[in-house]
Each structure stands twice: as structure tokens, then as C-alpha cells.
A and B are shown apart, each in its own frame.
Chain A
Amino acid sequence: MTVIEVEGLRKEFRQLRGRSPVAVDGLDLSVPQGGVFGFLGPNGSGKTTTIRCLLGLVRPTSGRCRLLGADSTAGLRSVIRRVGSIVEAPTLFPGFSGRRNLRLLGRLDGIGDGRVEDVLERVGLTARADHRVKTYSLGMKQRLGIAAALLRDPEVLILDEPANGLDPAGIKHVRDLLRRLGDEGRTVFLSSHFLGEVEQICDHVAILSRGRLIASGSVSDVLSKGGVTSLTVKLEDPAAGVRALGQAGIEASLDGDAIRVRRPPSDAALVTKALADRGLYLTELRPEQVTLESVFLELTGTSVPAAGLSAPPPPPAPPPPRPPSRDEG
């Protein structure tokens, strides 16, 4: 069964002067029931606009969105109780406590205080539930937003960047929670910048660029769309290795103390032979792993800073090796 269907969605934000920017341009998308679906794209690619269209907050210029079979512009009312969502950033009343915010939302649907306590517990916010939301950190606001989205015990969760502002422990907590929700048979539709996280928890992904869908499918399908990557080769004299490979007609470059060879893993034997023929023996050869990030960058043709994409922050680099002193021989 398809939970989310988007057909030919186009959204222009009309302006009085100049050209109206097109946020989404003929998007087709289909999200199956159950599991975690990653919705990826650089900043400005139309992810949030698509989510707003799905939730009836923004009217499509053309095309249509269907959520649990209901049209988002006219029939949302019949299914909204089965949907939990965060759009862009969780927005609750800053002057009210987290608990009061959730209770007020719950009253709209006749949800009791017991359920409020459950979701607070589930996102780890019980201890700060009586504090005003404006005193919360960004991560706590995100968790409160997730709690609000879970309040209805929804079949479908639409979460726009739920890991924004979370610390590594918070990211792991949310990742485990979303994975669990997906495993429970709910559909989690997740837009995220954290490609590593998405790769770990998503069953399916869709990649958006400039308002258009450029890849969609299971994570393994999308990873397989990543083209040739490279091989990393180490040997005692990398500079000589680069020269040798060049003489053999193999494109290679120095990458620190290693050589990066722009050939697929299947060409490993060729590389080994080219080096051995010239008396150079490698100490290490490994294929560069295809990641969602590398596929994403390849497909969208963006660089990390320009796209505003990021993986969780890497561990600090080790200090550079100290040059041997004369005393050390």
C-alpha cells in the first residue's frame, strides 16, 4: 500500500515583481507503507515545500498530493488524526511549558494526560516537562516536537529535519526511536541533512534536486546508482607510484601518504600489475566505500558546503606525526 503519493507536484511562490521562484517542479513520489523513508535534497531543493503541500499548509500550483489516500487540499481532515508531523522546526508556545503545550494539543483530539506523559517519557523530556519551552535548547525543542508528533500514536510520521540541533547522543536517541517506530509498522517520512544517519536507518530514500526527483528506491538501489568511485593504494614511495601509474595510463593522484586511483574496484588487479611491473609493491589497496553522501553529491552535482549538507561531525583529526629527530636515529 502507498501511504504518500505525489503526482506532478509543482509549486511556485508568486511574487509581485520578478520571476516567481519554483520550489517544486513536477515532483512524483511514492512512499510505501511501513519503515523509514528518507527524503533528501540540498537546501532549497523543495523538501519542506513538499512536506507543507502534503500537510495542506501550502496549496500546490499544479499536481496533487495524497496522504493515506486523502487529497491534501480537500480531504486531509479525514486522515489527519493518523498523521504526526514536524514541519521545518517544531513550533510550540514558547511561554508555556512542554507539558502544557502537549496537553493543549492533546485536548484538540481528546487525548488524555496519560498519553502526554508516555510521549514525554519516550523522548526523554519528563524531567524538563514543566519548564517553559523558551528555556529549552534546540535539541530539547526537537524532542518536544517529536513528542507532539507522536501524541496521536500516528500511522504516518512526517518529520522535517528532526535531528537538527541534537547532540550526538540526541541524534542516536532519535535515530533509534525512528528505527523502532519504523519497525513497529509505522511509516516514517524523514527529511534530513544527516546522510550517514539516513543511510543507517532508512529502508527507502528519495533524492531531490532543484525541485525534481533524481533518484528513488531502496537504499541499496540508490547506492548502486553511485558510479565509479576510486581505489586507495599505499606503498613506500607514493610519488613514484603516481608516476608509475601515469606511465601505465592510469589516472592517479597523491592523497596524503596514499594514492587515489580513479578506477573501480574491478581494476584492482590492473593497478597492482602496473606497480609491480615497475618494481613498486603496495602495502595496502582498498576500494573507497560507496556512501549515500557520495552518491548524493554525485547525483545532485553539489559540494557539501554549497548544498548545506553534512554528515555528523567527524572525530578530531589525530595530530600530525612528529618528524624523527637526530637523537632518535
Chain B
Amino acid sequence: MGALLGVEFRRYLARRTMRVAVLGAITAIAVAGLITFVVSQRPTAEGEAEARVERQKAFDACVRGDLGIDPEDVQPGQTIEEICGQVVSGPGFSAPQFALSSLPSVFVGTSVPLLLLAWVLAASFIGAEWHAGTVATQLTWEPRRMRVFVAKAVVSIALAAVLTVVLQAVLGAALVPAAAFRGSTEGLDEAWLREGLGVLMRGAAISAIAAALGYSIASVARNTAASMGLGFGYLIIFEQLIAGLRPGWQPWLLVPNIAVFLSGDSNLGFIDRSVGEAGLLLCAYAAGAMVIAAGLFVRRDVT
């Protein structure tokens, strides 16, 4: 099994798709770091005073209901002042200063494209092999199909998680100059570190789950495009339809559970599920898809 894993590992890393994807991601990170560095500005005393006035005006407008929040709709236990206080503390009401303390939120946002990347890479890893016919060649070297399936799956899933962590780390490093020289490095305490690592690990886990789903569908369909089309079609169209037509099914859908798990916040208002439960449910879905794909990989004819 070690030799098989080693070969699959080399094959995955040597793929052009993988190299192009990593190069593209690193280029995008470098551009994002540069833009953040240019845009970020430390506030002056005069600018702070102007911002305070703007914030107060916006707060007053919000309380009057001019920002689209109707005071009548405020839930019991909350006040319109609390809600408007949160609104005016967000972006657009303060100086464009990048604070490294916001890195965990950045990681939550970038986890989404990274999970899509993980899906695509895993699907294309097995899909391209079916397309080229190399699965048959490999099975004439290692006829134990389950081993072949597991080796490819392990490599796809593990490298998706590692790639997510590495790219997020590179992104963090790319944003450090903006925070250090033109922004803020305040608030980098133990809680921040814990939160950041938590988001990083959950992002890696979500990428691994996405890779498992992408790999499973491509393995069953024996095609990369089918996995991508089915996956993205399901997430973008089908889940939205279900959420609209059957709101009661929402707790069992992928997107709300991904949102809860990734954000680490069970009070997002989508579903009543804890972060751990959302993670377990997603793992169960991925495991189910893998079991079906493995069964079919072992049983079906290779023609």
C-alpha cells in the first residue's frame, strides 16, 4: 500500500492541472496582498473625527429605518440600537485600514473558493484517469481494486486539506505587510490565534470533504465534467430550489451546514445545528458517497 500511495502522491503533484491551479492561487494571493497593501491606510486624527461623524449620521438613519431595517421587525430580546450599532461598525463606516485581527474572517471567505478548488482537483484526478484509460493499465499492475481506490482517495483528500492550509498560510503571510506597515496589528492575542487556527482547520476539513465528494462523483461517472457539473449544479441550483420549496429540509442541505461549520457560528439563523453536528453531518455525506463509489469501483467492469 505504501508504494501505491507513494506513486499516487507523485502522480497527483506532477499533474499539470495541479500545478496550474497552485500557480493561479498563489498569483491571486500575491495580487490580493498587493491591493490590500495599496488600499489600506492608517487613520489620521482628522480622518477618525470625520468617520465618527459619518458613523453617527448612519446610526441615526438606521434607527429611523432609512437603511432598510424596519424597527417593527426587530426580534424580541434585541433592540434597533444594537442592530444599528453592529451595522455602522462594519466596513464602509471606518477608515480602509487592514487589521490582521480580521484574518480569521478572511480565512472564512477564502475557504469557499478553496473548497471548490479541492472538488475540481479531486474530480479531475480520477476523472482524467478514466478518460485516458490509465485506470485499466493500473489495474493490470495492482488488481486489488479497493486498494487502488483507497490510495487515490487518500491522496486526493489529504492533499486537498494540506493545499488549503498551505494556501491560507501563504495568504496570511501576504497580508502581513499591509497590516504591519499600512494597517493594524493590534488584537493578536491568544483568542485570535485560537480562532484563526480553528477556521484554518475547519477550512481544511471542508476542503477534504469537498474533495471526497468530487472524487466519489467523478469515480462513479468516470468523468471529471460530470462531477463538476453535477456538484456545482446541485449546490447552486438544486439546493436553492429545495431551500425555497422545502424550508424544513434546510438542516440536511450542504450549503447551510458548510456555512455553520466554516464560520464556527451556530447562530447564523439558517439552521438549528451546532458546529460539531454540522461537521459530522458533512463527514457522513462524504463517507456515504465514498462507500457507494468504492463499491461501484470494485464491482463494475473496466471496459
Q: Which residues of B contact A95 (CB under 8 A)?
A: 15-16
Q: Which residues of B contact A100 (CB under 8 A)?
A: 14
A58 touches B14 (CB 8 A): no
Residues of B within 8 A of A (CB-CB), count = 25
Interface segment, A35-43, A105-113, A245-253? A105-113
Q: What is the CB-to-nearest-CB distance from B171 to chain A, in angstroms, rounded to a whole number?
A: 28
- Chain B interface, DSSP helix/strand/loop, else mixed: helix
B303 touches A92 (CB 8 A): no
B109 at interface (Cβ–Cβ under 8 A)? no
Kindly state the separation between the CA atoms of A91 and B143 in the bound complex, as whole angstroms: 16
Q: What is the CB-to-nearest-CB distance from B25 to chain A, in angstroms, rounded to a whole number?
A: 20
Interface segment, B2-10, B231-239, B245-253, B282-290? B2-10
B105 at interface (Cβ–Cβ under 8 A)? no
Interchain CB contact (< 8 A) of B137 among A77, A92, A109? A92
Kindly state the separation between the CA atoms of A105 and B8 in the bound complex, as whole angstroms: 10
B38 at interface (Cβ–Cβ under 8 A)? no
Chain A residue at minimum C-beta to C-beta distance from B139: A57
A56 touches B143 (CB 8 A): yes
B191 at interface (Cβ–Cβ under 8 A)? no
B137 touches A104 (CB 8 A): no
A52 at interface (Cβ–Cβ under 8 A)? yes
With A59-B301, A80-B143, A96-B14 as contacts: A107 and B134 at CB distance below 8 Å: no
Q: What is the CB-to-nearest-CB distance from A287 to chain B, in angstroms, rounded to a whole number?
A: 44
With A92-B134, A94-B132, A108-B4 as contacts: A56 and B139 at CB distance below 8 Å: yes
- Chain A interface, DSSP helix/strand/loop, else mixed: loop
Kindly state the separation between the CA atoms of A157 and B15 in the bound complex, as whole angstroms: 30
Kindly state the separation between the CA atoms of A87 and B139 in the bound complex, as whole angstroms: 11
B140 touches A80 (CB 8 A): yes
Which B residues, 9 to 55, have Cβ-Cβ distances below 8 Å to chain A?
10-11, 14-16
Interchain CB contact (< 8 A) of B142 among A59, A90, A108? A108
Q: What is the CB-to-nearest-CB distance from A133 to chain B, in angstroms, rounded to a whole number?
A: 9
Q: Which residues of A contact B299 (CB under 8 A)?
A: 59
Q: Which residues of B contact A83 (CB under 8 A)?
A: 140
A85 at interface (Cβ–Cβ under 8 A)? yes
Write the A247-266 contact mask toward B (1 if CB under 8 angstroms, else 0): 00000000000000000000
Q: Which residues of B contact A89 (CB under 8 A)?
A: 133
Write the B109-143 contact mask toward A (1 if CB under 8 angstroms, else 0): 00000000000000000000000111011111111
Q: Which residues of B contact A59 (CB under 8 A)?
A: 299, 301
Which A residues, 29 to 83, have Cβ-Cβ distances below 8 Å to chain B?
52, 55-59, 76-77, 80, 83
A91 touches B137 (CB 8 A): yes
A76 touches B143 (CB 8 A): yes
Q: Which residues of B contact A87 (CB under 8 A)?
A: 136-137, 140
Q: Which residues of A contact B302 (CB under 8 A)?
A: 52, 57-58
A91 touches B136 (CB 8 A): yes
B132 touches A91 (CB 8 A): yes
A110 touches B3 (CB 8 A): yes
Q: Which residues of B contact A90 (CB under 8 A)?
A: 137
Q: Which residues of B contact A80 (CB under 8 A)?
A: 140-143
A148 at interface (Cβ–Cβ under 8 A)? yes
Kindly state the separation between the CA atoms of A90 and B11 in the bound complex, as whole angstroms: 18
Interchain CB contact (< 8 A) of A93 among B134, B136, B141, B301? B134
Q: Which residues of A contact B140 (CB under 8 A)?
A: 55, 57, 80, 83, 85, 87
Kindly state the separation between the CA atoms of A260 and B56 in the bound complex, as whole angstroms: 110
Chain A residue at minimum C-beta to C-beta distance from B129: A93
Q: Can you identify 10 A-B contacts, CB atoms within 8 angstroms?
A: A52-B301, A57-B139, A59-B299, A83-B140, A89-B133, A91-B134, A91-B136, A91-B137, A104-B11, A105-B137
Residue numbers of B with Cβ under 8 A of A are 3-4, 6-7, 10-11, 14-16, 132-134, 136-144, 299, 301-303
Closest 9 CB pairs of A and B: A91-B133, A57-B302, A76-B143, A58-B301, A56-B143, A85-B140, A91-B137, A107-B7, A108-B141
In addition to A52-B301, A80-B142, A100-B14, 5 A-B residue pairs with Cβ atoms within 8 Å of each other are: A57-B302, A87-B140, A96-B14, A107-B6, A107-B7
